[in-house]
Amino acid sequence: MTVRIGWIGLGRMGEAMAKRLVKAGHAVYVWNRTASKAAPLADAGASIVGSKQDLAGCDIVFTMVSTTDDLKQVLFDEGGLVAGATRPRIVVDSSSISQEGSAEIRARLEAMGVGYLCSPVSGNAKVAKAGKLLQVASGPQALYTEVEPYLQAMARKVMWVGEGELARIWKIAHNTMFGVIIQNLCEITVLAEKAGIPRHIFLESINDSVLGSMYTKYKTPMLTNLTFDQVTFTPKLLLKDMDLGLAAARAHGVAMPSAAATRESVARLVGRGHEDIDFAVLLVETAKDAGLELKSENRKMSDGLES
């Protein structure tokens, strides 16, 4: 029998991930708060439904929303996915939320007889579109085994990291490092440019050194050409994740001085109104602090993520 897959949440990441499932030939049913955002999925071959409860008859429902409260709302509030008599067998959540919030949601779903798997990802929307995400999961291993083929349709690699909410800790640690790396990358890039090294040359040298990574490579075109309107992740969302990281550090008794300093830097970005722009705009603010006015170098560059 064909497995019916539901999807809730069509932001930049959700749309790209759901399209990968459709492209792989799966039967995908989609609901989104803003109905117009579902149109590209319909064009790709997904079925659009009118309410969250229309997805309750699906075997597996994926969710990709912004916050813990958003997830609780789409699941449990009036008209929510599991608020009626009919419920899906499994909910797989790929949002970035707290460990505590996820544990509460797990308890409520499991009490209803609904299986629950956490499955956050590493990568932005362009990475997702190219099928190059890393996707991790935690929860009952038997559930992971059942869901794994659908995760593989969206990612270059999938991993089970353990029981319970361990995937939340993985994602919190991942995004905290995300912030610390961009902070340091912006600092050293401004240092090099103010000393006289052209920005694109310095970034190319870092990418080709032992310090280079997929992350530094795909941020290089944006940092070189100052194209921060090509949003992958906003300062506001990064600040949320940095706060989650520091809260987890306090709970587990781990000192994270680099993350704490980065959190304040990201908070300043948000305070200066940089909300609907890529977080790499940190480069411009770091340059301003150094008395340096940056200009786009207008270079044609590849980030290596083309599908």
How does DSSP classify residue 60?
E
pLDDT at 205 (0 to 100): 97
Q: Per the domain annotation, does 122 fall within a domain? A: yes
Establish if 298 belongs to a structural domain.
no
Contact indicator for 190, 174 with CB cutoff of 8 Å: no
Q: Please report whether residue 299 resides in a domain.
A: no
Residue 143, in any domain of the structure:
yes
pLDDT of residue 152: 97
Q: What is the pLDDT of residues 101-140, one digit of tens each?
A: 999 999 999 999 999 999 999 988 888 999 999 999 999 9
Question: Among residues 147, 163, 179, which one ends one of the domains?
Answer: 163
Domain end position, chosen among 163, 192, 221: 163
The domain containing residue 235 runs over which residues?
169-289
Mean pLDDT over the full length of the chain:
94
Residue 307 has pLDDT above 50, yes or no: no
> Each residue of 144-157: pLDDT tens digit?
999 999 999 999 99
At 94, which CATH number?
3.40.50.720
Residues 142 and 204 in one domain: no
Do 152 and 205 reside in the same domain of the chain? no
**Is residue 178 located within the same domain as residue 208?**
yes
Predicted pLDDT of residue 305: 60
Domain count, the chain: 2
> In 3-state terms, what secondary structure has residue 282?
helix
258-302 pLDDT, tens digit each: 999 999 999 999 999 998 899 999 999 999 999 999 999 998 877
The answer to the question of residue 253 being in a domain is yes
Domain identity same for 138 and 272: no
pLDDT digits (tens, 9 = 90+) for 222-272: 999 999 999 988 999 999 999 999 999 999 999 999 999 999 999 999 999
Question: How many other C-beta atoms lie within 10 A of the C-beta of residue 111?
Answer: 8
**How many distinct helices (H) and strands (E) make up the chain?**
12, 9
Residue 288: phi and psi, rounded to 5, are -60, -40
Whether this model's pTM surpasses 0.85: yes
Q: How far apart are CA 150 and CA 153, in angstroms?
A: 5
